[in-house]
Amino acid sequence: MTLQEITAKMKEGASKKSAFGNTVKFSTDQGVVYIDGNANPPAVSNDDKDADCTLKMDFQDFSDMIDRKLDGMTAFMTGKLKIEGDMGVAMKLQSILN
């Protein structure tokens, strides 16, 4: 899956969700996906903006997480996912991404 395909998939999912009051950025070696959870529905883009919470990971692991082949908590516990900023926002992501 490419970054553009992941972004499109996340836009589709976000269109069915409500605002969650925070900004989140997934930062990979192939680019970023930025979610503005202050918008209703949340806005998804590839803009590299400051966020309340930044999740850093290898692109393949990110793709696997979006495809539900890799659990976010497992990725974090095994060091594949690094979180910068508000950890509480990262915890909200489970319900946002599903």
Query: What is the predicted pLDDT for the residue at 95?
Result: 65
Boundaries of every domain in the chain: 3-91
Per-residue pLDDT of the chain (98 residues; tens, 9 = 90+): 899 999 999 999 899 999 999 999 999 999 999 999 999 999 999 999 999 999 999 999 999 999 999 998 899 999 999 999 998 898 877 666 66
Q: Considering the domain 3-91, what is its CATH architecture?
A: 2-Layer Sandwich (3.30)
Query: What is the predicted pLDDT for the residue at 37?
Result: 93
Block residue for tokens 């950890």: 87
Packing angle of the helix pair 59-66, 3-14 (nearest 10 deg): 40
Q: To which H or E segment does residue 62 belong?
A: helix 59-66
